[in-house]
Homo-oligomer: A and B are copies of this chain.
Amino acid sequence: MSENWRLDPDRALPADAEIRKQARAIYDEIASLPLVSMHGHVDVDLFAANKPFRNPADLLIVPDHYLVRMLVSQGYTPAELGVPFTDNGGTVAGAEASDVETDSRVIWRRFCENWRLFRGTPTRYWLEHEFAEVFGLSAPPSAENADDLYDELTAALARPEFRPLALLDSMNVEILATTDSALAELDSHAELARTLGPDRIVPTFRPDSLLHVRHQSWAKEIAQLAEVSGIATDDYAGYIRALEQRRRAFVAAGARATDHGHVSADTTPLARTEAERIYTAALRGEATAAEADAFSAHMLFEMARMSTDDGLVMQLHPGVLRNHNARIHEKYGADKGFDIPTRVEFTRSLQPMLEEFGLSHDFRCIVFTTDETVYSRELAPLAGAYPSLRLGAPWWFLDSPEQMRRFRESAIETAGFYNTSGFVDDTRAFASIPARHDLARRIDAGYLGKLVAEGRLGPDEACETAIDLTYNLPRHAYARHERNA
């Protein structure tokens, strides 16, 4: 179908002729390796239902906060891009339900007319790859061809090979980890395990809102936790046992990892009595902000302790201030592009956890950051010393060509390649998964190609390293440990 639009086969490889030659040779070794997707946000029910995607806007625009926020930054409201109001969002002053654009074609046109805004961004790269390679569109978007492309996409989505499970196969995704509430019943995962086998779509345990005692839904979720675990949570001991029970349920459902998005990386444990005291105060709605932070740090330490027991890999990604704009949050809810990074500290923050578990062979922690300054200063030195620690891939705002290259240039000299996790795609945009993995492979090939061209690594070593980064390291980093004891 893609008769007019061919992507540059050397795109995102370095321009220098000698480096490109080396990079091309390395990339050729890894381009068709299976995708190991161990950290993402595609909804498991998408696969359980396996229905056709409704329309181009619903598939490609509305759920992609990278894309929505860029159009918002130039003057659109989220509603004009089809983003629905939350339940109480429609009651916000000035918001009328009719403001939400429901015509998928209109939303698509708005996107196409603003294609230039994405120049120089990874969104541009991912979408080009999706459009040309996954959906076979005939040309890049523009104001002029918006309607034609819309029709091409609509026709494609009606075909069986564009249903979720078919795409999972054609995209060559070997394993996909979803991210799930700690309260999730995991029914869809169980069903998919039966039909696809046990290691194809696996859950990830994300307990954030349960660990922040001042989170707006904490009280409600604590009650749900009791219900789903069958363990009373009206005291701290029960709360801990209930969390342990949920983790076991995730392990049974094939989970490899937990996932933690606290603002701070603090892991300072509390004395048992102090933890109990704060928990009890929180149940009465009387915990202070400082107590909530202290409890949250304590619970990261507890999560590490539980990981040494049940073998779940612990993923940490602190440092993002969620819902920076209250109006956007109230009207549209979370994850709408208004989460903004802040400075983050790891050296002192992780010390309590690493003192206790850092040398243990039963513990693995993978750390992510959106603050690139910590790579050379803190994370590479830590990952280059502690056997339990792996340095996660550049993530979210840093999942882009220049940042991935800078990650390699900042972290590898101290951490080495073999203390890193390999690539994670972290996407909510299902169809972008192959594009994201492909881009990372090209950037890694470029970096390794430079090392070869500068006489810093042999060509065979570079190819072996590329394969490890692409396949073996993520497979190994996310392998759940069986407790030796």
Contacts and interface: CB of A to CB of B under 8 A. Distances in A.
Interface of A: 7-8, 10-19, 69-70, 72-75, 116-122, 124-125, 321, 324-328, 337-343, 345, 347-348, 351, 354-355, 358-359, 361, 370-373, 376-378, 380-387, 389, 397-398, 400-403, 406, 408-410, 412-419, 450-451, 453-457, 461, 464-465
A393 B274 CA distance: 47
A456 B371 contact: no
Contacts of A8: 455
A6 to B, nearest CB: 11
* CB-based closest 3 A-B pairs: A11-B455, A8-B455, A15-B453
B384 A418 contact: no
A111 to B, nearest CB: 14
A412 to B, nearest CB: 4
14 contacts: A8-B455, A12-B455, A73-B384, A73-B385, A73-B387, A116-B465, A119-B461, A120-B413, A120-B457, A122-B413, A341-B378, A342-B377, A371-B373, A372-B376
A410 B418 contact: no
A400 to B, nearest CB: 4
Contact of A120 (B75, B325, B378, B417): B417
Given A69-B385, A73-B387, A74-B387, 10 more contacts: A12-B456, A72-B387, A119-B461, A120-B413, A120-B451, A337-B385, A341-B347, A376-B398, A402-B409, A402-B410
A16 to B, nearest CB: 5
A416 B118 contact: yes
Given A12-B455, A355-B327, A359-B327, A378 B340 contact: yes
Contacts of A17: 17-18
Contact of A116 (B348, B402, B412, B461): B461
Contact of A416 (B121, B376, B378, B408): B121
Nearest to A8: B455
Nearest to A118: B416
A198 B400 CA distance: 44
A385 B338 contact: yes
A458 to B, nearest CB: 9
A22 to B, nearest CB: 9
Contact of A343 (B16, B325, B345): B345
B119 A416 contact: yes
Contacts of A454: 11-15
Given A117-B416, A412-B120, A413-B120, A381 B453 contact: no
Contacts of A73: 383-387, 389, 415-416, 419
A59 B389 CA distance: 29
A481 to B, nearest CB: 12
A179 to B, nearest CB: 21
A406 B406 CA distance: 11
